[in-house]
Each structure stands twice: as C-alpha cells, then as structure tokens.
Structure 1
Amino acid sequence: MDIRKIQMSGGSSYIVSLPKKWITRNKIAKNDPVGLIEQDDGTILITPNTTGEQIQKVWNYEVSAITDQTLFLRSLIGAYFAGYTTMRIWAHGRLPPFASEKIREFTNMAIGQEVVDETETEIVIKDLLNPAEMPLENTISRMSVIVQKMHEDAVRALKSRDLELAHSVISRDNDVDRLHWLIGRQTNLILGDINLARKMSVPLDGIMNYFLVSRIIERVGDHASRIAHNVVKLGECEPPEEILDMIGKVNEESIVIFKSSIKSFFDHDLKEANDIINDSLIFEDKCSGINKLAINYQAHIAISIVSISDSMRRVGDYSADICENVINYVTGKQG
C-alpha cells in the first residue's frame, strides 16, 4: 500500500498527491478531470473515466489450421465472460473454415454478440448490448420462471408420454445457459467499472451474490433437462400410475420450495430463507420414498425413476443453497 499524507491548501481544502505511475498509465495530463466516488465502506475511488461510458476492451485471437477448435470456442466464451466489447479473430492467411462455424455457434449462444466485419483474414465481433439495459433482477426472475416451467413440462411429458414436449424442455436449457452467461459477463463488467455498478444500482459487495444465484438456477435447469432426458429414455414404457402420481406431487412441492427461495432472495427475508432450508431437509425424505418404491419395478424403469427423483431432490438442495446465500449476504449487510 502506498501511504500519502493529507495536506491543507488555502485553509479550507485538503489535497493528496497521486502516484506518477498511475497518472502515466492512464495518460492523465495537467488540468484533466478525474472522478471521485465515495464507497459505502468509507473509501474513495478515483477514476479517469468521468463520462460514465462503458470501458472498451479489445480481444485479439490468432487462428490457424492447427488451432484446437474446442479450445477456440471455449476461448470465445471466456472472452465474453471477461467483458471484452470487441473480439478480433485473425489469421496470417485465409481464415480456416471452422473459424466461421465456431463463431456462428458462439454468437447464437451469447446474448448481444454480432459479427460486424468479416474478410478473408479477419472477423470482428462486437457487443451490441448495453449491459445497463438488462437489470440483474430481471434476468434472475426470467431464469427462474423458465426453469419452473421446464420442471412442470418435464413431469407433464413423463405422465403423458409426450416425447416432443420432453425434447422442448431439453432445448430450453440453452435459454437458461445464455442468461447465466449474461449475468457472468455483467458481473465481470461491474467489478471492473464502478460507473456501471452505479448505473445498474448494484453494490459491489452484492454482485457476486447475483452470479452465485444465477449459477444455482442454471443447475436447476440442468436437472429439468435431465428429467426430460429420462422421459426420452423410457420411450413408450409407461411407469405405473402409483409412481407417476407420487412424482407429480413431489415435483409440485419442489417447485414451491424453489419459487419461495427466489422470493426470499428478492425480499432479503431471513426468516423465510431459514424456513425453506428446514423444508428442504424434510423434502429429501419424500424423494427417498420414490426411490424405495422404484425398486419394485423393472430395472430400466427403476433406473430412470431414481434419476428423476434425484433431480427433484437436487432442486430442494439448490433452493436451500439460494437461501443460505440470502442469510449470508443479509447478515453481512447488518454488521
């Protein structure tokens, strides 16, 4: 830490000198303005960005015929998460054919990413979405609604043997992933730009809580997809009515617990969060009851039923995780 003493100027103003390295690195000249932002913890942030505009970051990536295609796609996703506003993919000669294919796959998965320039040797992707226009609360709410509907439809597909509906649930998992990626990107952007945090009215000590909850919701969506995959595996095999009724009731209860956990997250309700954690422990026993009943049926049916039961149990577990985050965050703010 660089310690500097406060000095007095003119009898009423207090001044402190700034590090020369910081001045040079940010290309600040004499009489240039800087912004001072007071933080909740009493610290003051000094920033050269006085306009409040989003910081522009450019990512360059060279590809060739021997570039690992999977790594290339993962690197695009990593650059998206990191908050780069422009991605420049280039080659010394012609771009290999797979580059365009992977870029198209990426832009279909990531929200706000569009190809704005393309030549034989270069492709430029720009972020066309203003992150401040997508409030984190709205994205979390939308994710939760999608996964609730996915779980409802997955069990409905099981009861009606509707394989088309099951495939629809599986495909919707991509929508949840895209929204989770967006929150991951916004998290990194906010952590690197205090002006964006202020525009979105998100405290820096709360942004990671949004990301953690979005990650949990994404996993709840994965388990809806897992239930749907089991419906497809069962094919025309119809489990006994007794087990289907039990699955339907337990699934309804899992959705109620999940919805309540999301409500406690938005309300910052400690009591409700604690009650939901207790309910999730009782809920586990009901899932175990399905497993005990499943062993009486043929192996291929029993395996799928146990997998479905486990996915519903995990919804209860993940709901408890959301509530633990609520308790940790709210208690920390009260200190």
Structure 2
Amino acid sequence: MDTPDGPYDRKIQLTGGTTYTVSLPKQWAIAQSVENGDRVRLYDRGDRLLVTQPDDDGSRRTVTASAVRHAPAAIERVLTAAYVAGAEVVRIEGQPDREVRDAVRKAVAGLVGIEVSEETDDAIVARAMLDVDDLSPKQTLAQMESTALRMHEEAISAALNGDAERGRRVRVQDDTVDRLFGLIAREFQRSLVDVRVDGAGSDLTTFDYYTAARQIERVADHAVKIAGTADQIETPPPDDVVDDVTRLGTESRNLVRNALSAMLNDGNAETLCGVLADADRVVDDAESLDRRLYERALPTGYALATVLDSVTPRQRHSDRRVRGQRRGGGDPDDASRSRDQRGLTCGPTDERMSHQHRRPTTDTDRRLTPTDHR
C-alpha cells in the first residue's frame, strides 16, 4: 500500500507486447514536477535501478566566494573544499587582488583536473576539466600506492643514513599523494549526490576506494615523519639495527601491497586472513626491536624510536577495538574492509607476547618513544 512518504508499490505492465511500463502516482508526479512527455534516465547499479530526471545544469555545480569577506588563505581553503565536495566551477568575486589570485593558483596547482579558466578585474574562475567517464579510481589508487610506498622506502633509507637532503626530497613527494587522494575524495563526495558516478565499474564502491586511499595517504604522511628524522641522525646506527629496521619496512610495505591487491582483485578469505596474520607478526617483531633499542640506550634512540613508530603497524588485528585506527605503513585491515564486511572471519591470531608479559611502560620509555596519538 502506498503511503504519502513512500515507498510506492507499482506493478510492471507489458504494453503493446514490446514495452514494459510503470505507472506513477499523480500527486507524487505533480510534487516532483513530472509532466506528460518528460524524459527520465535509468541507471543500473547492480541490485538497484535508479531513475532520475535529466539535469543538464547539474553537472556544472558552482560555488561562489567573496574576496572581500575572505583572506587569501581562507580563499585557498574554500577552493580546495569546494573541489573535494564535487563543485565544477569555483568563482571568486569582489575584485580579487594579487594575493587572492595567487592563493587561487596555489590551490589549483595542488589539485588534479582543475584550472583557472577565466580572469577579469571583477573575478577569477577555476573550472574542473575532468570527465567522470575517463576517471579510473583503480589506476589512481595504484599510482598513490606506488608513490607512497616508494616514499616510505626512501625515507627509511634517508633516516638510517642521516641523509637530510634525501629526506627533504621525500617530503616534497607528499604533495603528489595528497593531490591523488583529493581526486578520489572528490569522486566519493560526488557519488553521494550524482548518480552518474558509480565509482568503479566493479563491485567496489567509491567509499571502498576512498577508505583505501585514506590509508595509503597516511603511509605517505608517515614517510614524511620518518624523513624528518634524517636531520637528527648524524651517526648511522649499528648494522644490526639498520638491517632490522630495513627488514620491517620491507615487510610493512608488502602488507600494504598484499592488502590492496586482495581488495582490488576480490581476494578470498584465506588471502585476507593471511595478510592480517602477517601484520600481527610484524607488530611482534617491531615490539621486540623496540625493547632492544630501549635496553641498548643508543645516542640516536629517540630518533630511531620515531622511525620505528612509523615503519610498521603498531597494533595487532586481534587487539583492535575500532576499525581504521592505525599507525605506520597503512592498514591492511581497512584496505580490505569491503571484503571484511561481507563475512570475513579469521581465526584467533598468534599472540606470542601476551599482555601480562609485556614490559610495563616507564617514564624513560615515554622520553624515548613518541606517544601514539590515535
């Protein structure tokens, strides 16, 4: 039975032997401004069928901001936020001065597929040049992964060798990852309001891609943090420490690669559970190395603790209480979230170091090891 607020139950009828038709409630059609002869569009979304009215202007959503009311830094933030929210045109009015125009160009330079398309004395306009149909979130995610993991590897090497210049080069690459993340975030936001954006052409949604991209972006952020310690390590650590940290970094990056591959290629439960078990093992090894660094009291102990803090995942899968709250080299748990939500159940992981056998934290530990701000 139909109710004023829906849903409306309609029976599909065959007309003329060749066409299926569905009747619309008259009062509802009037309220939606649907008239005889109007056209609608049908979108196939797996087990859903979406019906919308054509909207030629809807694809050119415009955001307008005043240069009089906003400082240049605020204008930069407005443009970036409008881009991520899915705006197609951002117009800055109010006779923007040189500083405002520079802020617009700076914001545009940090984003993908948007350019300054118009400038007059009264306004400056940035316009998105992206074609939704040409976007490949899978390819964008792969590019993010490649750049972030390369940063992670180079940052560890720079830190362990005290190579400050190489560390600075790593930090510059973070802008590339941020730009790609902004692109995926934009498509996720657009998918919430634009039915044409289905995000993948597969069973993955734009939210799946956004969730994975957010974790990879964090890998790049941790690489920047690691690279920053290159200025603090003047003397290379002992060879065994270098070998251990390098090995843990390699294993952490493999975790991200395997988790993302499983997500994109519909990995089975055995594969995903294997990734989680490997993550727990890496955490155990990192904790063991952390204790050894504490006991050796190396001159570069604090800097090395900072590196180790960002090299590996710092929490076991079996210990997690909130999905997605991670540290270090990305989150294989979050990267495979879409599969996990479909019923993935892994057996208990191997807790080789139980809570009661862990060394209690002391004031000295707090000075040597950065606090994890989750």
TM band (smaller chain)? 0.7 to 0.9
Q: Which residue of 2 aligns with 1:213?
A: 212
The yes-or-no answer on 1:328 pairing with 2:305 is no
Q: Which residue of 2 aligns with 1:82?
A: 85
Paired residue secondary structure (1:45) = strand
TM-score, normalised on structure 1? Answer: 0.86
The yes-or-no answer on 1:113 pairing with 2:119 is no
1:258 to 256, 260, 268: 256
Return the offset for 1:124: 0.5
Q: Which residue of 2 aligns with 1:306?
A: 305
Unaligned 5+ segments in structure 1 are none
The yes-or-no answer on 1:36 pairing with 2:42 is yes
Return the offset for 1:111: 0.5
Q: Distance in 2 between matches of 1:88 and 1:114?
A: 12
Q: Which residue of 2 aligns with 1:294?
A: 293
Q: Which residue of 1 aligns with 2:368?
A: none
- Report the AA paired with residue 225 of structure 2: R
Q: Distance in 1 between matches of 2:169 and 2:130?
A: 27
Q: 1:11 to 1:325 in 2, by over 3 A?
A: closer
Return the offset for 1:29: 5.1
Q: Distance in 1 between matches of 2:285 and 2:126?
A: 49
Q: State whether residues 230 and 304 of structure 1, in contact with CA within 8 Å, keep that contact through their aligned partners in structure 2.
A: yes
Corresponding pairs, count: 320
The yes-or-no answer on 1:277 pairing with 2:276 is yes
Return the offset for 1:239: 2.0
1:56 to 33, 55, 60: 60
Q: Supply the RMSD in Å over aligned alpha carbons.
A: 2.7
Paired residue secondary structure (2:60) = coil
Q: Which residue of 2 aligns with 1:168?
A: 169
Query: After superposition, what is the alpha-carbon deviation per residue over 1:19-48, rounded to whole angstroms, capped at 9, x for unaligned?
Result: 345543xxx65413211334433x432212
The yes-or-no answer on 1:6 pairing with 2:10 is yes
- Report the AA paired with residue 272 of structure 2: A
Q: Distance in 1 between matches of 2:308 and 2:298?
A: 16
- Report the AA paired with residue 122 of structure 1: A
Q: 1:180 to 1:330 in 2, by over 3 A?
A: farther
Q: Distance in 2 between matches of 1:260 and 1:167?
A: 28
Return the offset for 1:54: 7.6
More helix as a share of residues: 1
Return the offset for 1:282: 1.5
- Report the AA paired with residue 216 of structure 1: Q
Q: Which residue of 1 aligns with 2:222?
A: 223
Q: State whether residues 38 and 45 of structure 1, in contact with CA within 8 Å, keep that contact through their aligned partners in structure 2.
A: yes
Return the offset for 1:316: 5.3
Return the offset for 1:324: 4.0
Q: 1:135-146 to 2 correspondence within 5 Å?
A: 135-146=136-147
Name which of structure 1's ranges 154-163 and 140-149 shifts more when overlaid on structure 2.
Answer: 154-163
Q: 1:226 to 1:329 in 2, by over 3 A?
A: farther
Q: State whether residues 156 and 307 of structure 2, in contact with CA within 8 Å, keep that contact through their aligned partners in structure 1.
A: no
Return the offset for 1:181: 0.4
Q: 1:228 to 1:46 in 2, by over 3 A?
A: same
- Report the AA paired with residue 243 of structure 1: V
Q: Distance in 1 between matches of 2:237 and 2:120?
A: 56
Paired residue secondary structure (1:55) = helix
Return the offset for 1:330: 7.1
Q: State whether residues 219 and 330 of structure 2, in contact with CA within 8 Å, keep that contact through their aligned partners in structure 1.
A: no
Q: Distance in 2 between matches of 1:180 and 1:219?
A: 10
Q: Distance in 1 between matches of 2:342 and 2:167?
A: 37
Q: Distance in 2 between matches of 1:105 and 1:302?
A: 39
Q: Distance in 1 between matches of 2:174 and 2:86?
A: 23
Q: Which residue of 1 aligns with 2:247?
A: 249
Q: Distance in 1 between matches of 2:158 and 2:134?
A: 36
Identity across the alignment (%): 21
Q: State whether residues 276 and 323 of structure 1, in contact with CA within 8 Å, keep that contact through their aligned partners in structure 2.
A: no
